[in-house]
């Protein structure tokens, strides 16, 4: 069987699904990508048995068939070739593959497509439709706050909570929490499920940031995403997500409004001098000024800056992990940011300033670092 395909088009599609392939695969064939040809259409498919992804492109071919090609050697070859038509020649009995370019040819061995795992088929699913760019914003606003502790598996993913009036996306690692809502995403059948981090990273890298329609289907075990000619299927994380509403502080009388860019600049500079274990940074808020300071006693390093702000509340000194604070501020889309605080030992709330998008609501919580214990680890 022979077919002709553009180098750049094939490479682009392969790179979309290549992230599915794990570094330690259970079966050797999972290091391959399945080529499923139906005349002039090629479907590429990769899986690690937990997450599966497929995409399609047009080729020149008069036959149909399927075979598996080792992903790494193929992608490495295509990266080194200039854009040109490539001819693939497949011996269906020996699975020998010859790739012919303008100036050379490359031989490798594939495997039978019949031995490749099948892509799961949606069964007993609920469906909803949303815009690709909207989901991309939801993923970008929450993914960074997921945890890495496999013993607390639900916290390694993002909670998708679909309701008749809005959709809520939640992520937490127990030190910080992000709650992101989109009012234009609605589902007639309320549902909640936990999406794994790997699948969300694949979506983040492949979703177009526009108003492309995206179909989301889900059941008790899997989620199915379809956009353009790309599909992603993943097994959901099993377990109960923490009651995030119970940890949101209710009484926060001290309100700080500050320019996000100025605040980030100060935090980035001053945090260089913080203790590398705690990343502790101190905020001393008095009147219309914040004093931002950090020190590393072990190396006699210290720094401080003053920053103008609008503050309504009692004078307050509170410590935070600078890394967490910076990462959260980077995911605020507005030019100003608001911090709602109570005491130095209680979590602070971060919300965007006046937002232009009424369909979007975001709330972030960050736990403080005890000021009197410099060596404490958050």
Question: In the prediction, which pLDDT does 375 show?
Answer: 42
Cα–Cα distance, 77 to 55 (Å, whole number): 20
**Which residue segments constitute the domains of the chain, with CATH numbers given?**
2-115 (3.10.150.10), 126-245 (3.10.150.10), 248-366 (3.10.150.10)
Residues 289/306, Cβ–Cβ less than 8 Å: yes
27-45: average pLDDT = 94
Taking Cα atoms as reference points, which of 307, 325, 309 lies closest to residue 271?
325
Q: How far is CA 271 from the centre of its chain?
A: 26
The pLDDT tens digits of the residues spanning 58-81 come to: 999 999 999 999 999 999 999 999
Q: What is the tens place of the pLDDT at every residue in 149-189?
A: 999 999 999 999 999 999 999 999 999 999 999 999 988 88
In this structure, are residues 58 and 41 in contact, taking their beta carbons and an 8 Å threshold?
yes
Q: What is the pLDDT of residue 353?
A: 87
Predicted local distance difference test score (pLDDT) of residue 356: 63
Q: 374: pLDDT confidence band, cut at 50, 70 and 90?
A: very low
Q: Which tokens in the block code for residue 297?
A: 């006693």
The per-residue pLDDT of the chain, averaged, comes to 93
pLDDT of residue 366: 95
pLDDT band at 355 (very low <50, low <70, confident <90, very high): low
Contacts of 46-50 spanning 24+ positions with Cβ under 8 A: 46/17, 46/18, 46/20, 46/21, 46/71, 47/20, 47/117, 47/119, 48/20, 48/21, 48/22, 49/117, 50/196, 50/198, 50/234, 50/235
* pLDDT value of position 376: 40
* Stretch among 184-188, 244-248, 331-335, 343-347 having the lowest mean pLDDT: 184-188
- Over the stretch 267-303, which tens digit does the pLDDT of each residue have? 999 999 999 999 999 999 998 999 999 999 889 999 9
């Amino acid at each position: 069987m022979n077919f002709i395909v553009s180098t750049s088009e094939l490479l682009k599609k392969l790179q979309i699904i290549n992230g599915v392939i794990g570094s330690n695969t259970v079966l050797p064939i999972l290091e391959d990508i399945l080529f499923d040809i139906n005349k002039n259409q090629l479907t590429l498919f990769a899986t690690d048995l937990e997450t599966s992804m497929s995409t399609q492109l047009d080729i020149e071919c008069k036959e149909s068939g399927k075979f598996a090609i080792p992903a790494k050697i193929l992608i490495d070859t295509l990266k080194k070739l200039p854009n040109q038509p490539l001819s693939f020649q497949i011996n269906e009995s020996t699975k020998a593959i010859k790739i012919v370019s303008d100036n050379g040819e490359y031989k490798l061995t594939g495997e039978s497509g019949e031995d490749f795992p099948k892509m799961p088929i949606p069964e007993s699913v609920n469906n909803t439709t949303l815009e690709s760019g909207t989901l991309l914003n939801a993923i970008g606003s929450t993914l960074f706050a997921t945890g890495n502790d496999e013993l607390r598996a639900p916290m390694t993913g993002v909670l998708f909570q679909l309701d008749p009036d809005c959709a809520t996306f939640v992520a937490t690692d127990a030190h910080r929490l992000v709650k992101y809502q989109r009012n234009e995403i609605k589902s007639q059948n309320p549902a909640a499920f936990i999406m794994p981090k790997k699948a969300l990273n694949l979506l983040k890298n492949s979703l177009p940031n526009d108003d492309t329609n995206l179909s989301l289907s889900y059941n008790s075990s899997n989620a199915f995403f379809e956009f353009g000619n790309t599909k992603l299927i993943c097994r959901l994380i099993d377990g109960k997500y923490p009651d995030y509403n119970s940890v949101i502080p209710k009484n926060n009388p001290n309100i700080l409004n500050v320019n996000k860019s100025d605040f980030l600049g100060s935090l980035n500079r001053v945090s260089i001098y913080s203790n590398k274990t705690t990343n502790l940074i101190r905020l001393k808020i008095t009147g219309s000024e914040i004093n931002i300071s950090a020190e590393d006693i072990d190396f006699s390093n210290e720094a401080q800056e003053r920053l103008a702000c609008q503050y309504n509340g009692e004078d307050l000194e509170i410590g935070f992990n600078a890394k967490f604070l910076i990462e959260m501020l980077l995911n605020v889309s507005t030019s100003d940011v608001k911090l709602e605080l109570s005491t130095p030992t209680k979590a602070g709330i971060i919300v965007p300033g006046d937002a232009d998008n009424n369909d979007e609501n975001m709330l972030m919580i960050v736990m403080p670092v005890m000021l009197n214990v410099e060596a404490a680890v958050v």
